[in-house]
Structure 1
Amino acid sequence: MKSHSSTLLAEVRTFRQNHPDVRYVDLIALDIPGRFYGKRYPVEMLEKVAAGSPLKLPQNAVLLGAQGGLFKIGDYCFHDGDPDANRRLVPGTLKPVSWEAQPLGQMLITSDGTEAPIEFEPREVLAKVLERLHRKGIHPVVAFELEFYLFDKKLNDGLPQFARDPLSDDPDDQPTLHIERLSRFAPVLDDMVQTAQAQGIDITVVTAELGPGQFEINFGHLDDGLRAADWAALFCRSTRGVALKHGYRASFMAKPYLQHPGSGMHVHVSLYDAAGNNLLATHQQQPLRHAVAGCLALLPHCMPIFSPNHNAFRRLGGTVNAATKACWGYEDRDACVRIPESDPRNLRIEHRLASADANPYLVLAAILVGLEHGLDAAQEPIAPLNEDRTSGHDFPLEMLEAVRAMQQQPVLREGLGAEFVDVYCENKRQDHLAFQQEINAREYRWYL
């Protein structure tokens, strides 16, 4: 513990030396809907925390709804006295914030690794899954890919406007999948990449996607699943900030336009043993098929995680590369679980179903539980799409049905934690019901 504190203290002191103009640091963590909460600390107080002073925030901050409000979930929020819970600093995450008007820093905090971790904190849920896999001799290597849209900074009557192309006023004049669009938006995209790299994030590939103003960012592969999810979360935060600085609005909303492709979160996962052998490639790839079967079996019960809000379910309507059934295939982007072509060393699954605004810690945790279940059950999967284009299991396409499917699933309750599953499902149910408490103009047109 002492060496851990000394390492953190050295990190804070080095940061202060390198950034003497920074007076405050945002201490941040991801809540259940995937939004950051936290506190802004004077940098000299951060040094005291790094040296061992307690860091406490309200436990129930993790339970915030999509709009920041609290819901009654069991005895939490309104019958528990709103207690504080210990957090700790995540080493290696203290970085400068370049997109704000004043010099700032930011650093991740978490309850995992504390004396009493919060059972429903997303990072803690993932930490427990990874710890269990490591005890079994399974070591995941993970890489995220995130799609997002750029919009004009100003909304038009609350509706998004296409991003202003510097070379054209015509919103339809945005070359799809062309390198030219990367050139047209190079100033903001380059700033996004450089800012992410300054946060310690390994950005590899930038792609112009099918939608107008839509892009995809790929991250490097990591043998630390927590850090991989940290990268995805931090990238969303910095990208939104950089976009605003350039006069745009960056959004990871799952389906901002009905007529254009939605934005997904693709997760690549391979599994290795302690000696570095790819477990999925052994025995004529039989473990790969078992892992796929486990993912597909649990996928219908994980939909509140993969599609965490009403809008995310709109993405699953059978448009470009968005599956409508739990299915798999080799080199097939219509599949939820795709097996990219690779050599045995790099054999992996690509899980493509989650929306870009899903919580990366929970998405990865759910995928890993599926892989673990498949390896334990050792069952063969259904036919791949390459052999049967109709192959696949149905999954829920609306939130309340999805919550019911998730809450009673015994493998998920054991793998992710029963307390987390109950809390998460009630949070999603309440959020969905709160979203429905508004009559829109179309409802009056149809029924008045």
Structure 2
Amino acid sequence: MKNPCASLLAEVRTFRQLHPEVRYVDLIALDIPGHFYGKRYPIDMLEKVAAGSPLKLPQNAVLLGAQGGLFKIGDYCFNDGDPDANRRLVPGTLKPVSWESQPLGQMLITSDGTETPIEFEPREVLAKVLERLQHKGIHPVVAFELEFYLFDKKLDNGQPQFARDPLSGDADDQPNLHIERLSRFSEVLDDMARTAKDQGIDITVITAEIGPGQFEINFGHDSDGLRAADWAALFCRSTRGVALKHGYRASFMAKPYLQHPGSGMHVHVSLYDGAGNNLLAAHQQQALRHAVAGCLELLPHCMPIFSPNHNAFRRLGATVNAATRASWGFEDRDACVRIPESDPRNLRIEHRLASADANPYLVLAAILVGLEHGLQAKRDPIAPLNEDSTSGTDFPLEMLDAVRAMQHQPVLRDKLGAEFVDVYCENKRQDHLAFQQEIHAREYRWFL
């Protein structure tokens, strides 16, 4: 982009012409737990930012815990003076917000691409991985798939209730894959898809999943990994907003019901060289085997990214298609790394382990580092599940064990950044400890 200021300024002015009713724009970015933070700017001030005025937010906003609190992490948060850090506008992301009661816009911001990027900002972590791969002549093409649940808008003593079938008024408590469920919930689902497209997201397939009120929406394959992760992040925000507008709650919580399937984030990744050749198909797919081996080797050390909270670990090994060991297989949905049937041009992996509430920037970064490591190490993987149904290697199933496995892993510290790994692990450790600080009613029932 020869003149980013001119391009951004044109984008803001065009938006103002198309949406003269919008007076404010939310400038938003994803923090470590995967929540949006930011500021609401008057649109005339946004035009000044687009023209080159500084855009600064507190650096430590990236470090917020799952409940929005600050943890002491090294010298951050309490011993650093809470400094501001530069952000920039992400071109092409200024879009209208249609689910709020008042006209509003939103636009992504990031520290990546600034003079002093924040080393532990999720988007910056992914940007560095993609830049390194590009220098190696490796060009990923990525597609996300996200599962989520619809709940009734009203909670029952804090507990979720099944979404009401708009046709019958009854709870949608019959888990199935019937196409009629898409028809019965078409009003809210169509609005979700339409709103996502208005955000620039390439929505493709919509599926009624197995759980009651559970659905999956897929995105198109994109050669820009940052944009693919942007889509996943923005989709979660718009979907929750649209659901509330229709009288539902939408949640990407990993395991809202113990007796029903959890929600996952499935990521399809293929790798190409500069000439457009599929690198995974090289040498009669030997490169694919090497890439899979790298993914499986690092997977046990990436569990705090793939299962980023206490609830996400509940999803593992429960009901269907959620593994408890690092495994792979051809056309096997019980595998963490699935190889869908395809021609050599479209050969890819489908990484199925991450929970739907994981941070999409970090999930993709971890997957790409695994693929990169495998292509470099050139080792063969363990047997696929198709050949040995018991094949697999163990990975941590509790957060503190997972953090210990991640923090000192040399490949992750090198390729994701040692500063990020230390900050992220401490954030997850503190979140886990904070979660333990509340006494559950069950404890009184069992032990009082």
Question: 2:373 aligned with 1:386, yes or no?
Answer: no
Shift of 1:171: 2.5
Q: Report the Cα offset of residue 446 of structure 1.
A: 1.1
2:104 is matched with: 104
Contact 2:204 2:217 in 1 (8 A): yes
User: What amino acid does structure 2 have at the position aligned with 1:107?
Assistant: M
Counterparts of 1:192-211 in structure 2 under 5 Å?
A: 192-211=192-211
**How far apart, in 2, do the equivalents of 1:123 and 1:340 lie?**
28
C-alpha separation between the residues in 1 aligned to 2:277 and 2:56?
Answer: 41
Aligned counterparts, 1:219-230, within 5 A = 219-230=219-230
| Aligned residue in 1 for 2:93 | 93
Map Cα deviations across residues 392-425 of structure 1 (whole Å, 9 max, x no partner): 0000000000000000100000010000000000
Conservation of the 8 A alpha-carbon contact between 2:175 and 2:211: no
Tell me what 1:299 maps to. Answer: 299
Output one character per residue of 1:13-62: Cα deviation in whole Å (capped at 9) or x when no partner. 00000000000000000000000000000000000000000000000000
Q: Structure 1, residues 281-329: CA drift from partner, whole Å, max 9, x if none?
A: 0101000000000000000000000000000000003420001100000
Matches within 5 A, 1:288-327: 288-327=288-327
Rounded to whole Å, the distance in 2 between the matches of 1:74 and 1:121 is 16
Aligned AA (1:20)? P
Q: Aligned-pair distance for 1:167?
A: 2.1
> Secondary structure at the residue paired with 1:396?
coil
Preserved CA contact (<8 Å) 2:278 2:346: yes
Structure 2 letter corresponding to 1:188: V
String of CA shifts for 1:116-154, please: whole Å, max 9, x gaps: 000000000000000000000000000000000000011
1:176 is aligned to: 176
Distance 2:406 2:447 in 1: 34
Q: Distance in 2 between matches of 1:55 and 1:89?
A: 8
Query: Is 2:14 aligned against 1:14?
Result: yes
How far the C-alpha of 1:166 sits from its partner, in A, is 1.2
Q: How does 1:211-290 map to 2 (within 5 A)?
A: 211-290=211-290
Deviation string, structure 1 residues 200-250 (Cα, Å, up to 9, x no partner): 000000000000000000000000000000000000000000000000000
Instruction: Tell me the distance in 2 between the aligned counterparts of 1:173 and 1:197.
Output: 29
* 1:188-209 deviation per Cα after TM superposition (whole angstroms, max 9, x unaligned): 0000000000000000000000
1:367-396 per-residue CA deviation (whole Å, 9 max, x = no partner) reads: 000000000000000000000000000000
Post-superposition shift, 1:173?
5.0
- Which residue does the alignment assign to 2:422? 422
Amino acid at match of 2:197: Q
Q: Find out whether 1:66 has 2:82 as its counterpart.
A: no
Give, as a single letter, the amino acid of the residue that structure 1 aligns with 2:328: W
- With over 3 angstroms needed to count, the CA separation of the structure-2 counterparts of 1:240 and 1:391, relative to structure 1, is same
For residue 131 of structure 1, what is the aligned residue in structure 2? 131
Following TM superposition, by how much is the alpha carbon of 1:445 offset from its aligned partner in structure 2, in angstroms?
1.2
- In the other structure, the counterpart of 1:330 is 330
Letter aligned with residue 399 of structure 1: M
Structure 2: how far apart are the matches of 1:172 and 1:446? 33
Which residue is equivalent to 2:24?
24
Task: Report the alpha carbon displacement of residue 2 of structure 1 after superposing the two structures with TM.
Answer: 6.7
What residue is the counterpart of 1:47 in the other structure? 47
Q: Distance in 2 between matches of 1:340 and 1:208?
A: 20
For the Cα contact (< 8 Å) 1:326–1:336, is it kept in 2?
yes
1:361 and 2:361 equivalent?
Answer: yes
Q: Tell me the secondary structure at the aligned position of residue 149 of structure 2.
A: strand
**Is the 1:174–1:181 Cα contact (8 Å) retained in structure 2?**
no
Report if aligned partners of 2:96, 2:106 keep a CA contact under 8 Å in 1. Answer: yes
- Please tell me the residue identity of whatever aligns with 2:105: G
Gaps of 5+ in 2: none
Aligned length: 448
Displacement of 1:172 in angstroms is 5.3
The Cα RMSD (Å) is 0.8
**What amino acid is aligned across from residue 394 of structure 1 in structure 2?**
D
Checking the alignment, whether the CA contact within 8 Å between 2:142 and 2:267 is kept in structure 1 is yes
What CA distance in whole angstroms lies between the structure 2 residues aligned with 1:62 and 1:380? 38
Q: What's the offset of the Cα at 1:441? A: 1.0
Contact 1:27–1:109 (8 Å) recurs in 2: yes
SS in 2 for 1:40: strand
Q: How many Å separate the matches in 1 of 2:415 and 2:286?
A: 23
CA contact (8 A) 1:165 1:174 kept: no
Per the TM alignment, residue 175 of structure 1 is displaced from its structure 2 partner at its CA by 5.8
Q: Which amino acid aligns with 2:243?
A: A
The aligned amino acid for 2:153 is K
Write the distance in 1 (CA, Å) between the matches of 2:246 and 2:185.
10
Could you list the structure 1 runs, at least 4 aligned residues long, displaced by more than 6 angstroms after superposition: none
Contact 1:146 1:263 in 2 (8 A): yes
The separation in 1 between residues aligned to 2:266 and 2:21, in whole angstroms, is: 38
Paired with 2:171 and 2:51, the residues of 1 have a C-alpha distance of: 53
Letter paired with 2:311: N
Distance 1:52 1:182 in 2: 46
Secondary structure of residue in 2 paired with 1:268: strand
Q: 1:64: Cα distance to partner?
A: 0.2
**2:98 counterpart letter in structure 1:** S
- Aligned 8 A contact 1:206 1:217 in 2: yes
Partner of 2:346: 346
SS in 2 for 1:282: helix
Shift, 1:332, TM fit: 0.1
Alignment partner, residue 188 of structure 2: 188
1:142-161 to 2 correspondences below 5 Å: 142-161=142-161
How high is the TM-score relative to the length of structure 2? 0.99
Match in the other structure for 1:445: 445
d(CA) in 1 for partners of 2:55, 2:259: 47
Give the letter aligned to residue 161 of structure 1: Q
